[in-house]
Amino acid sequence: MADVTQDRDFSGLRAMFLNGTLKKSPETSNTEGLIEVSASIMRKHGVEVEVLRVIDHDIATGVYPDMREHGWASDAWPDLYPGILDSHILVVAGPIWLGDNSSITKQIIERIYALSGMLNDKGQYLFYGRVAGCLITGNEDGIKHCAQNVLYSLQHVGYTIPPNAD
C-alpha cells in the first residue's frame, strides 16, 4: 500500500508532545523512545515538533492555570502551557503503571483541564480546532483503558480526536 502522505507538506503545523514518564532526565525513557518515532514522522512531513518531559519541571498539583494563586510556592505550568496553546497537535504520552496512566500523565490532564474555562478570541473553547492523540507504553494490560482516559479527557476540553489517535 502506498504512503498517501508521502508528498504532502505539513509545514506551518506545530506539534507538542507531553511525556508523562516517571523518569527524570537524563534517565532513559521508553516513552521518549516511542515519542521520537512519532515525532520523526511528523518532522519528515514538515511539522515543527516540541517534546516536553513534564517531570523535569516543577509543576504544582491542581486544576487552576496558576497554582501559585492558590497557595503553592512555585508552579512552572504558567510558563509551559503557552507552548501547548501555540500547537495545532497535542500528543500526551506516558507509561502504564499497575494498569493505569502514570501519575505524571494524570497531572498533565489535570493541568490541561485547568485551562478549559478559558476561551479563544472568538469565544470558543480554548482548544477548539486543535487535534490530539496519545501514546501509551508499558508491559502491563491496560492500554485501552489508559488511551480511553486520555482521549476522553482531551475531547472533553475541546480537542478533536481523529480516528486511530492512540
pLDDT by residue for the chain (166 residues), tens digit each? Answer: 555 556 678 989 999 999 999 999 999 999 999 999 999 999 999 999 999 999 999 999 999 999 999 999 999 999 999 999 999 999 999 999 989 999 999 999 999 999 999 998 999 989 999 999 999 998 768 899 999 999 999 999 999 999 998 8
In the Cβ-directed half-sphere of 19, how many Cα atoms lie within 13 Å? 23
Strands 89-97 and 100-101: antiparallel
Distance, in Å, from the CA atom of 105 to the CA atom of 90, rounded to the nearest integer, reads 13
pTM assigned to the model: 0.93
Contacts of 101 by beta carbon, 8 Å cutoff, 6+ apart: 20, 94, 109, 136, 146, 149, 150
Distance, in Å, from the CA atom of 158 to the CA atom of 51, rounded to the nearest integer, reads 21
